[in-house]
A and B are shown apart, each in its own frame.
Chain A
Amino acid sequence: MDEVVALEGRRSGLLTIGRPRHLDWALWIPGTVLVLLLGACFLGPQIFGVPGPNVVNLGVPHVGLGAPGHLFGTDELGRDLLSRSLYGGQTSFVVGISSVAIGLGLGGLLGMVSGFTGGWLDSVIMRVLDILLAFPSLILALTVATYLGPSERNVILAIAFFTVPSYARVARSGTMQFKEREFLLAGELSGAGKTHLIFRHVLPNIWGRLMTYGLLTIGVAMIVEASLSFLGLGIRPPQASWGAMIADGKAYLTVAPQMALVPGAFLFVAITSLNMLGDGIRSRFSGGELW
């Protein structure tokens, strides 16, 4: 989270690499890669007819890359690494996207209410969020994940919990800006309810900003998931996720480096594409009213 927080609030120009003429490839290349990757993870297992991700075959442990029937080799239990990477990708994407969605929903709402209402409520909400923000996200995620125990749902909750404050901040600062605008004042005068104002006027105006930010955060959430798995607090085995697979592979680095490297490559490509796409979108709108 922290990195994104760092970037948030800086002037947009700082983040722009390349001139406007580069915008198109900056969107299309990562976008295409991401769509291909998502397609491969969610549809690939059926299309390619790979073995199940948890199918153990103790007869073929640690098969290297390019082996017949196992394009990316196998792990210590003879499970197909391509299959596990594709299914693991599903987990990683699901965890990344749902934790961001939950965090965005809760944080966005809190931020809008806080920014729109102002006064003591704003102060209280922001102080509480400060408590969560004042903290290296991994450390509290660690405690929460330890408490909840390893499972996909709990990992999502642990990560979502700590994305709330940063979304709230983004939503709040956006809300404050629009609150100043005349049409809101006019709306308030005409007697429209607060809920109506927030959802009809504020939300559409900060929507783009929240979504862009969310896109960037999915990558971060996926890294946090991988980090939790790496520390033994991820999903429940034998379910695969890229992070959990890398963590498993760490124990076999010398005998079967492919166990860590194959999912590592998937994770790396996915997050790079997500970051490039998010940044591309942000650059594209940087001239407009979004930033």
Chain B
Amino acid sequence: MILGTVARRLLHAIPVLLGVSMLTFVLLNLLPGNVALAILGPGATPKQIRIVDRQDGLTQPLWDRYWHWLTQAVQGNLGDSLLSHASVSSLIGQAIPVTLEVILVAQIVALIFAVTFALFAVVIRNPWVDRFLSLLAFGGISAPPFLFGILLILIVSVDLHWLPATGWIPLTQSFTGNLRTVILPAATLGIGEFAVHMRILRGDMLEQMREDYVTTARAKGLPRSRIVFVHVLRNSLFVLITVVGVNIGKLISGAVIVEVLFALPGVGNLLINSITERDITVVQGIVVFVAVAFVVINLGVDMLYSALDPRIRRASTDG
């Protein structure tokens, strides 16, 4: 049954992916200017532009180009960058570890803080703590990522000189260097995540506290903290898993901004640069890659969720 669901979901994803790639392709080709101008610069003669266009295959009709791209893409070949002629998969391969690391670190730190704060609130049961956390959560959700990032740069980098404001040192090069460059971007991206997680976790835990099994446990004389830590938290964590999955899209959008702000060589920056330089194959490749990742991650999360929590299996969502 689960295999059937997976197959159906993947089948549904195919027209979505086709549509997404087609939409991007058409939109990008409508944009003014093309990659030849990025290569040749101002003052290029029409002849030069034609030569570069021909080299890149841009003189062929739009649908021929899309069809060519598509037949190659389904075989796993995303083509070469029109600008640098490096393969798109190698470009994405270079950029993805950066984006992934920032997202993962942000997510892990956000989860650790969210669980700690939510537990604290549920165990302490103080209205002022509640209000404070509620405000904190709203603040975290409401702060656009770049605003928080700018604040961090201003305080941590410009004033205190603790961490570099920009740049990236890969993990393979230096562990401490990498740590120093990942902290601010991850914190910027993580604040919103933290807020969402904490709100949801805390709300669900409070609801769980009213459930029968908690009442029974309390009647048995188990201390509140033990009930919270051992039973309630475990049950509430399931909810978090879904939220983490659904939030992937938001995280990717956030990563674009964070990478631009901190000048990180990740997928987001690659995408923005490729859009501005009209490097269509690279944009196409990233868009399809992100869409596939999005579908797969959501599928995985759903599977995990229903596998972990039998209560959910029946209640499937619409759409």
Do A and B interact directly, with beta carbons closer than 8 Å? yes
B20 touches A264 (CB 8 A): no
B144 touches A223 (CB 8 A): yes
Which parts of B19-57 form the interface with A (CB within 8 Å)?
19-20, 23-24, 27-28, 30-31
B16 touches A14 (CB 8 A): no
Residues of A within 8 A of B249 (CB): 2, 5, 135-137
Q: State whether the Cβ of B130 lies closer than 8 Å to any Cβ in chain A.
A: yes
Contacts known (A2-B253, A271-B142); A131 close to B154, Cβ less than 8 A: no
Residue of B nearest to A246 (CB): B147
Residues of A within 8 A of B147 (CB): 226, 246, 260, 264, 267-268
A10 touches B256 (CB 8 A): no
Residue of B nearest to A222 (CB): B144
Residues of A within 8 A of B253 (CB): 2, 136-139, 227
Q: State whether the Cβ of A195 lies closer than 8 Å to any Cβ in chain B.
A: no
Q: State whether the Cβ of B295 lies closer than 8 Å to any Cβ in chain A.
A: yes
Stretch among B73-81, B194-202, B222-230 lining the A interface: B194-202
Contacts known (A6-B247, A13-B204, A17-B202); A134 close to B256, Cβ less than 8 A: no
Contacts known (A135-B294, A136-B290, A147-B27); A142 close to B16, Cβ less than 8 A: no
CA distance A9 to B276 in the complex (A): 37
Residues of A within 8 A of B137 (CB): 17
Q: State whether the Cβ of A140 lies closer than 8 Å to any Cβ in chain B.
A: yes
B15 touches A3 (CB 8 A): no
Q: State whether the Cβ of B272 lies closer than 8 Å to any Cβ in chain A.
A: yes
Number of interface residues of B (CB under 8 A): 65
Residues of A within 8 A of B247 (CB): 2-3, 6
Cβ-defined partner of B295 (8 Å) among A3, A134, A144, A147: A134
Residue of A nearest to B252 (CB): A136
Q: State whether the Cβ of B139 lies closer than 8 Å to any Cβ in chain A.
A: yes
Q: State whether the Cβ of A42 lies closer than 8 Å to any Cβ in chain B.
A: no
Contacts known (A6-B247, A137-B249); A143 close to B158, Cβ less than 8 A: no
B157 to chain A, nearest CB (A): 9
A169 touches B319 (CB 8 A): yes
Q: State whether the Cβ of B150 lies closer than 8 Å to any Cβ in chain A.
A: yes
Q: State whether the Cβ of A126 lies closer than 8 Å to any Cβ in chain B.
A: yes
CA distance A18 to B130 in the complex (A): 7
CA distance A56 to B153 in the complex (A): 28
CA distance A223 to B139 in the complex (A): 13
Stretch among A43-51, A78-86, A97-105, A250-258 lining the B interface: A250-258
CA distance A143 to B27 in the complex (A): 7
CA distance A14 to B203 in the complex (A): 4
Residues of A within 8 A of B30 (CB): 147
A280 to chain B, nearest CB (A): 10
CA distance A279 to B200 in the complex (A): 13
CA distance A138 to B253 in the complex (A): 6
Residues of A within 8 A of B134 (CB): 17-18
Residue of B nearest to A141 (CB): B253
Which parts of A1-35 form the interface with B (CB within 8 Å)?
2-3, 5-7, 9-11, 13-18
Residue of A nearest to B204 (CB): A14
A16 touches B20 (CB 8 A): no
CA distance A6 to B317 in the complex (A): 13
Which parts of A266-291 form the interface with B (CB within 8 Å)?
267-268, 271-272, 274-276, 279
Q: Which A positions have Cβ atoms within 8 angstroms of B?
A: 2-3, 5-7, 9-11, 13-18, 126-128, 130-131, 134-140, 142-144, 146-147, 169, 172-173, 176, 219, 223, 226-227, 230-231, 243, 246, 249-250, 253-254, 257, 260-261, 264, 267-268, 271-272, 274-276, 279
| 6 residue pairs A–B, Cβ–Cβ below 8 Å | A7-B196, A14-B204, A140-B24, A250-B261, A253-B154, A264-B147
What would 15 more interface pairs be, CB under 8 Å, given A15-B200, A169-B319?
A2-B247, A6-B196, A14-B203, A15-B203, A127-B19, A134-B17, A134-B20, A134-B291, A136-B249, A137-B253, A139-B256, A223-B144, A227-B146, A261-B151, A271-B144
